[in-house]
Amino acid sequence: MPNVTVIGAQWGDEGKGKVVDWLASRAEIVVRFQGGHNAGHTLVVGNETYKLSLLPSGLVRGKLGIIGNGVVIDPEALLAEIDKVHTQGLTVTPRTLRIAENASLILPLHPAIDRAREAARGARQIGTTGRGIGPAYEDKVARRAIRVADLAEPETVAAKLDELLLHHNTLLAGLGAATFDKQDLLDRLMALAPRIVPYAEPVWERLDEARRAGRRILFEGAQAVMLDVDHGTYPYVTSSNTVAATAASGSGLAPAAVGFVLGIAKAYSTRVGAGPFPTELTDATGKLLGDRGAEFGTVTGRRRRCGWFDAVLVRQAVKVGGIQGLALTKLDVLDGLSELKICTGYRINGERVRRLPAAPGAQAAAEPEYETIEGWEGSTRGARTYADLPAQAVKYVRRIEELVEAPVTLLSTSPERDDTILVRDPFED
C-alpha cells in the first residue's frame, strides 16, 4: 500500500482540509513538509470546526503528526495553536506530535521584516501574510537560522542572535522600523524552549522505520503549485517549493516514499492576495461564487478573488507538481448556473499558448480563451456517487479530466466529510 502526498493544484485554498481529513482517517502518520503558519486547513468534525496552520491534520483523528524539516516554525504560534485545540477537546503531547530537530524557527524579527518590506513596496505589494515566512527561509539558506535543536543550547542561540541581529537590525533601521534587543529575544526563546524541545527528534529515523514497516504515511502540503517559489506566478508566490518532490526533502525520506500524488482543485478558481489571475471574474458571477463558496482565507480572513476554472493552469500544475489524480472540490457551488466556462488557452500579444509563462509581464497580459459548457439544474450537494449527479455535472467533470490530462479520483460535493465521491482510493493504488 503506497503513501499519499496531497498538494494544491491552483493558488491554494482549494479545500485541502476536508480531503486531508478524509485521507488522514485512513493513514497512520500525517506529515507537514513545507511552509509555515501562513496557510490553513479547516476541518469540520461533527459539531467542531478546527482551523489548523502548523499542526498536521491527522492529530484530529488521533494519528501521529509530524512537522518536517522543510517547515519554518513560529514557536509562539505553534504553542498558541496547541492551546487553542486543547480548548476544543484535542490534547497534543510529545506522544502525538513530533517535530524535526533540524527545522528552522521564525523569530519575532521575521514578521517585522516581512511587514516593513511589504509597506515599502507600496503599490507593488506581493500580498504576503506578514507572518515572517519569507525572511525565515532566507535565514535558512543564508545559514544563520536558529533551529529547533538549538533551543536546547542557550549558548548556541545567543551566538546566532548576534549574527541575526547584525543583519536584520540594519535592514529594519533602513526601512524605518523598530529594531530588536538581543537579550529580549534570548529570554523569549529560552522561555519557550521547555515546551518545544520535548517534541523534537530526528523525524527522518521515525519515518524511515514507518516506511520499512509498511505503515501508511500521508504527506500534507500547504499552499499550491502556482504559489511554488520556482514554478508559480513569481514573485507573487510563497517562499518554499510546494510540489510533491518537496515531501521527500522536507521530511527526510527518499523520493520513492512520496507515493501517490493527489492534487486538490476547486471546480472553479480562487486566489488570495495580489498577482495574475487570468480567469478572474469581477462581475456578479464572481461575487456569486465567492458568496456561495464562503471564500475567505482561513489564515488571512481576506476575501478570495474568484473566477472560472483554468484548465491551462491546472494542467501545468499536474505536469510540474507530479500530480497523478485530482480531488475536485466545491462542485456544488456551481449548481443552478445556466452556463459554465473553462479556460482552454491564453492569448498573449496575439499568440495562443497553453501554459502560463514565467515572465511577469507576459503573465499579466494573458487573456483567457474559454470553452462554454451548459450548466445543470438540480443539486449536486451531498452527492456520494456519480449516479447522484445531474448528467451535465458529470459532463463538466469529464471535460476537466480531458483538458488537464489527469483523472478525478475524488469529488467533493459539500464541506461534510462523508459527502465525497470516491473513484479511486489513493492508498490502494
Among candidate residues 13, 74, 228, 419, the one labeled active-site is 13
Q: Which of 196, 217, 248 is the last residue of a domain?
A: 196
The pairing of strands 305-307 and 408-412 is unpaired
Cell 445556466: give the residue. Answer: 338
pTM of the model: 0.93
My answer on whether 12 and 146 are in the same domain is no
Distance CA 227, CA 356 (A): 13
Distance CA 226, CA 211 (A): 30
Distance CA 288, CA 18 (A): 22
C-alpha cell at 419: 459527502
Distance CA 157, CA 145 (A): 10
Distance CA 428, CA 280 (A): 37
Distance CA 342, CA 310 (A): 6
Among candidate residues 37, 41, 168, 231, the one labeled active-site is 41
Which 3 state secondary structure label does DSSP give 307? strand
C-alpha cell at 100: 524535526
Do 67 and 103 meet the contact criterion of CB atoms below 8 Å apart?
A: yes
- DSSP category for residue 175: T
* Strand locations in 96-171 (E): 97-100, 104-105
My answer on whether 142 and 208 are in the same domain is no
My answer on whether 58 and 206 are in the same domain is yes
Residue-wise burial string across 404-417, b where 16 or more C-beta atoms lie within 10 A, e elsewhere: bebebbbbbbbbeb
Our CA dihedral for 90, 32, 42, 231, rounded to 10 degrees, sits at 170
pLDDT at 429: 65
Phi/psi region, residue 275 (left: phi>0; alpha: psi -120 to 50; beta: rest), is left
Asked if 231 is an active-site residue, the reply is no
My answer on whether 281 and 402 are in the same domain is yes
**CB within 8 A of 244, min separation 6: which ones?**
5, 7, 219, 221, 258, 261, 321, 322, 323
My answer on whether 244 and 368 are in the same domain is no
My answer on whether 154 and 272 are in the same domain is no
C-alpha cell at 46: 461533527
pLDDT at 386: 93
Instruction: Please state the domain count of the chain.
Output: 3
Asked if 110 is an active-site residue, the reply is no
pLDDT at 46: 72
Q: Which of 169, 196, 223 is the last residue of a domain?
A: 196
Do 339 and 373 meet the contact criterion of CB atoms below 8 Å apart?
A: yes
- DSSP category for residue 290: H
pLDDT at 17: 79
Do 50 and 266 meet the contact criterion of CB atoms below 8 Å apart?
A: no
* Strand locations in 9-82 (E): 29-32, 41-45, 48-52, 64-67, 72-73
CATH of residue 217's domain is 3.40.440.10
My answer on whether 296 and 404 are in the same domain is yes
Residue type, 331: L
Residue-wise burial string across 94-111, b where 16 or more C-beta atoms lie within 10 A, e elsewhere: eebbbbbbbbbbbbebbb
My answer on whether 285 and 396 are in the same domain is yes
My answer on whether 84 and 227 are in the same domain is yes
Question: 68: part of which helix (H) or strand (E)?
Answer: none
Per-residue pLDDT of the chain (429 residues; tens, 9 = 90+): 589 999 999 998 898 878 888 898 889 999 999 999 987 777 777 777 888 889 998 898 899 999 999 999 999 999 999 999 999 999 999 999 999 999 999 999 999 998 988 888 887 887 778 889 999 999 999 999 999 999 999 999 999 999 999 999 999 999 999 999 999 999 999 999 999 999 999 999 999 999 999 999 999 998 899 999 999 999 999 999 999 999 999 999 999 999 999 999 999 999 988 899 999 999 999 999 999 988 876 555 668 899 999 999 999 999 999 999 999 999 999 999 999 999 999 999 989 999 999 999 999 999 999 999 999 999 999 999 999 999 999 999 999 999 999 999 999 998 887 888 999 889 886
Q: Which of 260, 280, 311 is the last residue of a domain?
A: 260
My answer on whether 13 and 130 are in the same domain is no
Residue type, 377: E
Instruction: Report whether the peptide linkage leading into residue 202 is cis, meaning its omega lies within 30 degrees of zero.
Output: no
- The terminus-to-terminus CA distance of the chain in angstroms comes to 7
Residue-number span of the structural domain to which 51 is assigned: 4-100+200-260
My answer on whether 251 and 189 are in the same domain is no
CATH of residue 138's domain is 1.10.300.10
Which 3 state secondary structure label does DSSP give 401? helix
Distance CA 104, CA 70 (A): 8
Do 201 and 69 meet the contact criterion of CB atoms below 8 Å apart?
A: no
Do 301 and 46 meet the contact criterion of CB atoms below 8 Å apart?
A: no
My answer on whether 336 and 404 are in the same domain is yes
**CB within 8 A of 300, min separation 6: which ones?**
129, 272, 273
Distance CA 12, CA 133 (A): 16
Beta bridge partners of 329: 266
